[in-house]
Amino acid sequence: MPTTETLTINMGPQHPSTHGVLRLILELEGEIVRGCTPVMGYLHTGIEKEMETRTYHQNVTLVDRIEYLANYNEEMAYFQSLERLLGIEPPRRAKYIRVLMCEMARIASHLIYLGAGGMDLNVSSLFLYCIQDRERFLDLSEMVSGQRMMPGYFRAGGVAEDVPEEFIPAARDYLDYLAGRFDEYERLLKDNLIWRERLEGVAPLSREDAIALGATGPVLRGSGVVHDFRKLAPYGGYEEFEFDVAVETGGDAYARYRVRIEEMRQARRIAQQALDRLPDGPWITNDRKIALPPRAELARSMEAVIHQFKLVSEGMHPPAGESYVATESPRGEKGYFIVSDGSNKPVRVHVRAPSFYNLQTLPVMLKDRPLADVVVAIASIDIVLGDVDR
């Protein structure tokens, strides 16, 4: 006798394929998923509340920990909004360095998607290749900021320090090396029967659903919408770079994979242009109410000492008001909504976190699909739980 009874099972929060601490309550009818309820908050650390108790400068440390696989992009978003509030523009060299680091971070972030997503499907050699390539980016990151992750490298009005001399040839080497690697990954996966069968037609998301549920980034672009804020409303100097927006119409996990592979190529193209055309000049604004004076000045100028003291013990005072600037992180639209009352600490900082909104599409992707597709769907959204839970 057929039965229509459903079985409710729990997946996560401790489960290797949830890419963090995501919990799903799945309602199964046999092998078929009839309902899916994401439960999050296991990684909630109150970053938005904490940011209200710290100065704008101190908050860089917290910002880095939100989207922890793409820290440079996260800092980019925070400072775009803060600089709009302050009404300043960083010097051109700083913009180029920022774009360069952001695009390399985008590649590194997508490499984690590819590696970890592959590992979920038992393509474990791919994971090792991707981690190996990401490792070289982390070395570059260490060169410019002293940190592999959580760099804290960007500042209001520029970057903390100029890139060291040895960084330029090393970055060039890395980008040259990557060109061949992307082709290799594609060769490895394009004709791989398991990869194709497990991704094509799996976790479908229609264009309408993607838009209605607020999906952005590769999830939206994989459903056929040309939507990339680096092109739509260029910020932080992106208007000076040539690149194409990767878009696929498939709307399935395979389309999202194709979008990300193409995005890595485009990110490499942007990074290459930034390296080739890196302008000379200062790397941080010389507005002493916002950026620290250079170390050498402190020995000679009393005024510099006072500025330095005020900035360190008190911090900058953006004018009262609010600002929001949309930026394109590897996962979608990332923006900081900052409210200032003119004091040295923000009244409110809200992070528009792409993973949080993209996660809303998961129940749609999984409706009436086999249980085995859950893992593929989560990997194809490429969530970062630090970004979901903040």
Task: Give min distance, CB of 53 to other proteins, in A.
Answer: 4
Q: Closest Cα to residue 251, out of 205, 220, 212?
A: 205
Residues of this chain, 190-249, that bind other proteins according to CB under 8 A: 211-214, 216, 220, 225-227, 229, 232-233
Q: How far is CA 246 from CA 21, 255, 260, 273, 294, in A?
A: 30, 10, 8, 18, 41
On whether the CB atoms of residues 185 and 123 are closer than 8 A, the answer is no
Instruction: Please count the other Cβ atoms lying within 10 Å of the Cβ belonging to residue 284.
Output: 22
- Using CB under 8 A as the binding rule, whether residue 307 contacts other proteins is answered as no
Residue from 135, 173, 184, 314 in contact with other proteins (CB under 8 A): 314
Task: Calculate helix-pair angle for 124-145, 167-190, nearest 10 degrees.
Answer: 160
Task: Give min distance, CB of 374 to other proteins, in A.
Answer: 19
Task: Calculate helix-pair angle for 92-120, 124-145, nearest 10 degrees.
Answer: 160
- In the structure encoding, which two tokens stand for residue 330, read together? 């590897």
Choose between 209 and 287: whose C-beta lies nearer to other proteins. Answer: 209
d(CA 222, CA 42): 28
Number of residues that bind other proteins (CB under 8 A): 57
SS (H, E, C) 108-131: HHHHHHHHHHHHHCCCHHHHHHHH
- Using CB under 8 A as the binding rule, whether residue 331 contacts other proteins is answered as no
On whether the CB atoms of residues 95 and 103 are closer than 8 A, the answer is no
- Using CB under 8 A as the binding rule, whether residue 303 contacts other proteins is answered as no
Task: Give min distance, CB of 16 to other proteins, in A.
Answer: 23
Residues of this chain, 19-58, that bind other proteins according to CB under 8 A: 40-41, 44, 46, 48-50, 52-55, 58
Task: Give min distance, CB of 302 to other proteins, in A.
Answer: 14
Phi, psi of 25 (to 5 degrees): -100, 115
Residue with tokens 């302008």: 279
Task: Give min distance, CB of 271 to other proteins, in A.
Answer: 24
Residue from 75, 263, 333, 373 in contact with other proteins (CB under 8 A): 333
d(CA 287, CA 88): 9
- Using CB under 8 A as the binding rule, whether residue 288 contacts other proteins is answered as no
Residue with tokens 């061949």: 180
Choose between 65 and 348: whose C-beta lies nearer to other proteins. Answer: 348
Residue with tokens 């994979």: 257
Which segment (1-9, 17-25, 105-113, 309-317) binds other proteins by CB under 8 A?
A: 309-317
- Using CB under 8 A as the binding rule, whether residue 68 contacts other proteins is answered as no
Residues of this chain, 69-88, that bind other proteins according to CB under 8 A: 84-85, 87
Choose between 29 and 322: whose C-beta lies nearer to other proteins. Answer: 322
| 328 sits in which H/E element | strand 321-329
Per CB under 8 A, residues contacting other proteins are 40-41, 44, 46, 48-50, 52-55, 58, 84-85, 87, 211-214, 216, 220, 225-227, 229, 232-233, 310, 313-315, 317, 320-324, 326, 333, 335, 337, 339, 341-345, 347-348, 350, 352, 356-357, 359-360, 389-390
